[in-house]
Structure 1
Amino acid sequence: MLNHEYCRNTIFNRNFFMDFRGTMTYNERKIIKDFHKCNFYEIFEYFQAESNKLRAATKEEKLSEKEENESLISKYGFCLLDGHCERINNFRLEAPGLFLGRGDHPKMGMIRHRVWACDITINCGRDSKIPMPPRGEMWKEVRHDNTVTWLASWTDNVHGQNKYIILNPRSKIRCESDHNKYEAARRLHKLIDKIRATYSEEWKSKRIYVRQRAIALYFIDKLAGTVRCSSLRVEDIQLHRYLMDKEYVVVFDFLRKDSIRYYNMIEVEPRVFNNLKVFVKDKEKGDSLFECLNAHELNDHLKELMVGLTTKIFRTYYASLTLQNQLDELTDENATVPEKLLVYNRANRAVAILCNHQRSVPKRHQQIMENLRKKIHNKNNAINDLEAEFIELEKSANLSKTVKDKMIAARKGKQLECLKDQLKTLKLEETNREENKNVALTTLKLSYTDPRIAVAWCKKNNVPIEKIFNKTQRTKFLWAIHTADENYNFLGE
Structure 2
Amino acid sequence: MQLEHRGPYFVPPYEPLPKDVQFYYDGKPLKLSLATEEIATFYAKMLDHEYTTKEIFQNNFFHDWRKQMTSEEQEIIKDLDKCDFGEIHKYFVDKNEARKALPKEEKQKLKEEADKIQEEYGYCILDGHREKIGNFKTEPPGLFRGRGEHPKMGMLKKRIMPEDVIINCSKDSKIPEPPEGHKWKEVRFDNTVTWLASWTENIQNTLKYIMLNPSSKLKGEKDWQKYEVARRLKDVVHTIRAQYRKDWKSKEIKKRQRAVALYFIDKLALRAGNEKEEGETADTVGCCSLRVEHIQLYPQLDGQEHVVEFDFLGKDSIRYYNKVSVEKLVFKNLQLFMRNKDPSDDLFDHLNTTFLNKHLQDLMDGLTAKVFRTYNASITLQEQLKALTNPEDNAAGKLLSYNRANRAVAILCNHQRSIPKTFARSMQVLQEKIDAKKKQVEEAQEEVKKAEDEFKDTKDTKAEGNVEKKKKLLKRLEEQLAKMNIQATDKEENKQIALGTSKLNYLDPRITVAWCKKFGIPIERIYNKTQREKFAWAIDMTGEDFEF
TM-score (norm 2): 0.81
Q: Is the 8 A contact 2:272 2:369 kept in 1?
A: no
Q: CA RMSD in A?
A: 2.7
Structure 1 residue 16, shift from structure 2 partner: 3.4
Q: How has the CA–CA distance of structure 1 residues 297 and 72 changed in structure 2, closer, same or farther, with 3 Å as cutoff?
A: farther
1:6 maps to which of 25, 32, 50? 50
Instruction: Please say which of residues 379-388 and 127-136 is displaced more in the overlay.
Output: 127-136
Identify the residue that residue 418 of structure 2 maps to in structure 1. 360
Runs (5+) with no aligned partner, structure 2:
1-44, 274-286
Q: Is the 8 A contact 1:78 1:88 kept in 2?
A: yes
Identify the residue that residue 166 of structure 1 maps to in structure 2. 211
Query: Separation in 1 of the partners of 2:171 and 2:341?
Result: 50
Q: How has the CA–CA distance of structure 1 residues 103 and 376 changed in structure 2, closer, same or farther, with 3 Å as cutoff?
A: farther
Q: Is the 8 A contact 2:58 2:154 kept in 1?
A: yes
Q: Is the 8 A contact 1:103 1:360 kept in 2?
A: no
Instruction: Please say which of residues 247-256 and 10-19 is displaced more in the overlay.
Output: 10-19
Query: Separation in 1 of the partners of 2:299 and 2:64?
Result: 47
Identify the residue that residue 114 of structure 1 maps to in structure 2. 159
Give the partner amino acid of 1:180. Answer: Q
Q: Secondary structure at the match of 1:231?
A: coil
Q: How has the CA–CA distance of structure 1 residues 334 and 194 changed in structure 2, closer, same or farther, with 3 Å as cutoff?
A: same
Identify the residue that residue 394 of structure 1 maps to in structure 2. 452
Give the partner amino acid of 1:70. Answer: D
1:151 maps to which of 196, 201, 206? 196
Q: How has the CA–CA distance of structure 1 residues 2 and 142 changed in structure 2, closer, same or farther, with 3 Å as cutoff?
A: closer
Q: Is the 8 A contact 2:47 2:89 kept in 1?
A: no
Query: Separation in 2 of the partners of 1:373 and 1:56?
Result: 29
Alignment of 1:192-271 (within 5 A): 192-226=237-271, 228=273, 229-244=287-302, 246-271=304-329
Q: Secondary structure at the match of 2:496?
A: coil
CA-to-aligned-CA distance 1:440-475 (integer Å, 9 cap, x gap): 001111111111111111111111111111111111
Runs (5+) with no aligned partner, structure 1:
none
Structure 1 residue 354, shift from structure 2 partner: 0.5
Identify the residue that residue 427 of structure 1 maps to in structure 2. 485
CA-to-aligned-CA distance 1:193-225 (integer Å, 9 cap, x gap): 111233333444455444443333222112224
Q: Secondary structure at the match of 1:230?
A: coil
Identify the residue that residue 385 of structure 2 maps to in structure 1. 327
Identify the residue that residue 428 of structure 2 maps to in structure 1. 370
Structure 1 residue 5, shift from structure 2 partner: 3.8
Structure 1 residue 75, shift from structure 2 partner: 2.3
Q: Is the 8 A contact 2:123 2:132 kept in 1?
A: yes
Q: Is the 8 A contact 2:378 2:508 kept in 1?
A: yes
Query: Separation in 2 of the partners of 1:148 and 1:208?
Result: 39
Q: How has the CA–CA distance of structure 1 residues 64 and 436 changed in structure 2, closer, same or farther, with 3 Å as cutoff?
A: closer
Q: How has the CA–CA distance of structure 1 residues 140 and 246 changed in structure 2, closer, same or farther, with 3 Å as cutoff?
A: farther
Structure 1 residue 403, shift from structure 2 partner: 1.8
Q: Secondary structure at the match of 2:84?
A: coil
Instruction: Please say which of residues 88-97 and 281-290 is displaced more in the overlay.
Output: 281-290
Q: How has the CA–CA distance of structure 1 residues 145 and 265 changed in structure 2, closer, same or farther, with 3 Å as cutoff?
A: farther
1:457 maps to which of 511, 515, 522? 515
Q: Is the 8 A contact 1:79 1:88 kept in 2?
A: yes
2:236 maps to which of 191, 197, 200? 191
Q: Secondary structure at the match of 1:128?
A: coil
Query: Separation in 2 of the partners of 1:60 and 1:415?
Result: 41
Q: How has the CA–CA distance of structure 1 residues 391 and 269 changed in structure 2, closer, same or farther, with 3 Å as cutoff?
A: closer
Give the partner amino acid of 1:44. Answer: H
Q: How has the CA–CA distance of structure 1 residues 389 and 21 changed in structure 2, closer, same or farther, with 3 Å as cutoff?
A: same
Identify the residue that residue 540 of structure 2 maps to in structure 1. 482
Q: Is the 8 A contact 1:105 1:258 kept in 2?
A: no
TM-score (norm 1): 0.90
Structure 1 residue 49, shift from structure 2 partner: 4.9
Alignment of 1:131-146 (within 5 A): 131-146=176-191
The alignment covers a number of residue pairs equal to 490
Structure 1 residue 4, shift from structure 2 partner: 2.5
Q: Is the 8 A contact 1:106 1:259 kept in 2?
A: no
Structure 1 residue 254, shift from structure 2 partner: 0.9
